[in-house]
Chain A
Amino acid sequence: MRILLRVLVETLIGLKQGGWSNWLVVSILAIALTIFGGVLQLTITLKSVVAAWGSQLEISAYLKDSYDPKVVAHDVSLLPEVQFVEIVPKETAWKELQSAFKVASLANPLPNTLHIKVSSTEAVQQVAMQVKNLPSVENVRYPLKVAQRINEFRHFLELAGFAVTAALTAATLTVIGNTIHLVIQSRHREIEILSLMGVSPSYIRSPLILQGATYGAISGLLSMAVLWGLHAYLDPYLSEQLIGFAPMLTHSLEHSLAQTFVALLILGVAVGASGAFWTSGRYIKI
C-alpha cells in the first residue's frame, strides 16, 4: 500500500518531467485508438448489416413497361425454389414514395416491381439470374449481391484500417520510448543511486511503466469521447435507415460500442505500458 503510494508519486513526477511530449504521446495514441475503434465499429456495423440483410430471401425484379406484371409473376412463380411472388404496381410504389418524401409531381418514373420470395439463401443467386434473363425483366436487385459488395468493402476497410492502426501504434511506441527515455535521462543520477542502494530494478521501473499505462488510459478515454460523439451524431440517421429491415440491429450496435470501448481502453493501456516496459528495461540495468 505504502509502496503503491510512492510509486504513484514517482509516476506523477515522471509525468511532470514528460512535459510537452506527454501531449504528443497522448494525441498520437488517441488518434491510433480512434481509428482502430472507428474501423472496428464500422466493420461490426457492416457485418451485422450484411448478416441481417444478406439473409433476406427476397429478390426485386424491375419489369419493362411493355409487359403485364401479372403474366410475368405467374411465369416466375413456376420457377423452382420460388415460394411466393408479390406484385408491386408502379402506381403503388410511386404513391408510397411521394408520401414518404415531398417529390414534385412528375410522370411516374418507377417500373412495375415483383418481390420474389425464395426458399433458401443458396437459391437466391440462381433464381435471380434466371429472372434477370427473362425478356420482360429490366433488372434485378437482391440483398445478397449488395451484401457481397459490402463485404468486399468491409474487407478492404479492415485491412486499411488495421494497417493504419499498426503504423500509428508503432509510431506511438517510438514516441513513448523517447518520452520514457527522457525521464530516465533526467533521473539518471537518482536511478544510479537507487540501484547502488539495492532498490530492485522492478521497483525503479514501475513508475515509468505506470506512466506509460496512464498515457494509454487517457488516450483510450479521449478516443472513446470522439467515437461516442460520432456515434451520437450519426445514430439518429443510421437507426432510421436500419430499423426498417433490421429492428434488432441498433440494439446490438449499442452493445458492440460498449465492447469496442473496453477494447480501446485495454489496447491503449497495453500499448502504453508495454512501450514503457520495453524502454525502461532497455535503459535501466543493474
Chain B
Amino acid sequence: MIRLQNVSKNYGGRPALTNISLHIALGEFAFLVGPSGAGKSTLMRLLYREEMPTSGNVFIGGVNLNRLHKKQIPLLRRRLGIVFQDYKLLPRQTVFANVAYVLRALGVNEKDVDKRVNSALCVVNLDDKGEAYPDELSGGEQQRVGIARAIVNGPPVLLADEPTGNLDPATSLEIVQLLERISERGTTVLISTHDQPIVNAMRKRVISLRNGEIIADVDSGVYEVGSTG
C-alpha cells in the first residue's frame, strides 16, 4: 500500500532522509519511531505529497507520487486520512461541522453527510459531542475528532504524525488503541511517535529512524532507547 524506493530528501543541501526503502502492506499497522529530528515528519509529508523527494520514488496504492499532477493532489489526500499532533481542527466550527467539512465541500448530500459523520463519531466514541466546539473538549477528545475526520471518507490509508505528542500517557494509549481498531477494519495505519511505552505496549511492526536513515525494521517489535538514542 505504501512503498518507498531509495528515497532521499534534502533541505537546502542538508539531508533529512537518506536512501529510505520501505514497504507497508495493505491493512498493516506500523510505528515509525525515532528521536526528534530523525525525519519522521518529513517522511509523512512525502506520503501526503506536502513535499517531493529529492531523489527516489514514493508510491501510495501503486501510484507514483512523483508523477502526480498538481491537480491530482487533492484526490490523493481524499484517499488518505491524516491525523496531526496539533489536531488541526477548525475552531469556529462544531465537532460535527469539522468532520463534515470535506464531505460538504465535495457536494455530498446532507443526508449522507449526516450518516457518515455520525458513524465516524461513533467509531471514536464522540457521538454525543457533535454540537460542541473544539475548545470545549479535552486534548484526547479533540484528537478523536481529528481521527473521526480522517476516517469519515473511508480512506484505505491512515497517517498519524505524533498523534499522542500532546496527550498524557493514559489518553495516548486510548488513542493508539483506537487507531488499532481502525486498522482491524482493513485500513493501513502508519503512526509516527517517539513515545516508547506506547510502542512497547502494542507489539506491532516498528520502523526505527535515526538521522534520516532506517536503523531497524522489526515485526512485533519494541522501541529500544539504546538503538535510537
Binding site for B on A (CB under 8 A): 2-3, 6, 189-190, 192-201, 203, 286
Contact = CB atoms under 8 A, between A and B. Distances in A.
Given A6-B104, A6-B105, A199 B74 contact: yes
B13 interface: no
B149 interface: yes
Interface size for chain B: under 10, 10 to 19, 20 to 34, or 35 or more residues? 20 to 34
Given A200-B74, A201-B74, A286-B73, A194 B88 contact: no
A199 B105 contact: yes
Given A2-B107, A3-B105, A286-B73, A196 B90 contact: no
Contacts, number: 52
A65 to B, nearest CB: 85
Given A193-B88, A196-B82, A286 B74 contact: yes
Given A2-B109, A2-B110, A193-B90, A198 B77 contact: yes
A197 B77 contact: yes
Interface pairs A-B: 4 shortest CB-CB: A198-B77, A198-B78, A200-B74, A198-B74
Nearest to A199: B105
A244 B37 CA distance: 87
B107 A192 contact: no
By secondary structure, the A interface counts as helix
B88 A2 contact: no
Interface of B: 48, 50, 70-71, 73-80, 82, 88-90, 101-102, 104-105, 107, 109-110, 149, 153
Contact of B102 (A2, A3, A192, A198): A198
B25 to A, nearest CB: 23
By secondary structure, the B interface counts as helix
B48 A196 contact: yes
A41 B96 CA distance: 54
12 contacts: A6-B104, A193-B89, A197-B78, A197-B101, A197-B102, A197-B149, A198-B74, A198-B80, A198-B153, A200-B71, A286-B70, A286-B74
Contacts of B73: 198, 286
A42 B76 CA distance: 56
A194 B82 contact: no
Chain B CB within 10 A, most for which of A192, A198, A201, A203: A198
Nearest to B107: A3
A260 to B, nearest CB: 39
Nearest to B49: A286
Contacts of B82: 196-197
Given A6-B104, A197-B78, 18 more contacts: A2-B104, A2-B109, A2-B110, A189-B88, A193-B90, A197-B102, A198-B74, A198-B76, A198-B79, A198-B102, A198-B153, A199-B74, A199-B102, A200-B71, A201-B74, A203-B105, A286-B70, A286-B73
